[in-house]
Structure 1
């Protein structure tokens, strides 16, 4: 392992439904329950238990999203508004190329593609967020291990090839 560093998991987000469908001008659908969690259960190849993308065939290679809290710091809002599953502080997750395997806590993830922002960011966060988050919207990953992530300090390591 190389490039190990301490990070902070500042937020964990699980949503059983997709709240942002249709036109942003119509507003989001209400979430049916709590979306902020102190810990989440992750299953290898499937995603986060209880999340709308868990074991969803179209999202198996992108079931878990991770964003750097620093990407959201310019807005004084709850980081969960970005609707990424894992919000970490202390590492530029957008710098990880596709195919990279990293370990967060005891769970390995493989990066599959960027989590590009959409026009809903202007509604959910603030006007201009959609444009400002281009290239900083986070990453979509597949978990390679079962485990639990908790809010708080965690080790992040880029795995050697």
Structure 2
């Protein structure tokens, strides 16, 4: 088991990257960065735009490593730009495809099945800066299915990769 840090949590009720990147993103919801997020098994994060959407149930929660943010392109880049849900420091989430992980922020473990890569799109160049999409290739995070209910909070957390 490793101790990681939950740096940011994003629960956004609305899509921001619709249409063409050249048109710019939709306005941000003022409360999309949260201190805690409620996870529901098979459904996602309560209040998030992908919550309980059948097309997204296998990819309802996205994790990203803080170490992979393209800060050299735009200092201050965070989840509001990448549109991932959970920003972790201290673990290479991109190396965990096909695994099941446990993240315990002190309120009990939340189990997540790491299903597939969260591939960066052309929006990354538009909102972060030229070269961001390429910089995030193979480092854009992962899409997960929540296998248990629980609560994620900012701060230190115990992270465990479960045996196959």
State the TM bucket, normalised to the shorter chain.
over 0.9
Paired position in structure 2 for 1:82: 82
Q: State the match for 1:101 in structure 2.
A: 100
Provide structure 1 residue ranges, at least 5 long, that are not aligned to the other structure: none
Q: Aligned pair 1:148/2:151, yes or no? A: yes
User: What is the CA deviation profile of residues 11-45 of structure 1, one whole-angstrom value per residue up to 9, with x for unaligned ones?
Assistant: 00011111101110000011233110010000001
**Distance in structure 1 (CA, Å) of the matches to 2:97 and 2:84:** 18
Q: Secondary structure at the match of 1:157?
A: strand
Residues 77 and 125, structure 1, Cα contact 8 Å, conserved in 2? no
For normalisation by structure 1, the TM-score amounts to 0.94
* 1:18 and 2:21 matched: no
Where in structure 2 are the equivalents of 1:115-126 lying within 5 Å?
Answer: 115-126=118-129
Aligned residues: 157
The answer on 1:113 being equivalent to 2:110 is no
Cα distance in 2 for residues equivalent to 1:64 and 1:127: 26
Runs (4+) off by over 4 Å: none
The 2-side partners of 1:37 and 1:46 are apart by 18
- Structure 2: 5+ residue runs without aligned partners? none
Hey, what's the Cα distance between the residues in 1 that align with 2:129 and 2:155? 27
TM-score (norm: length of structure 2): 0.92
Note the aligned Cα RMSD (angstroms). 1.0
SS of equivalent to 1:113: strand
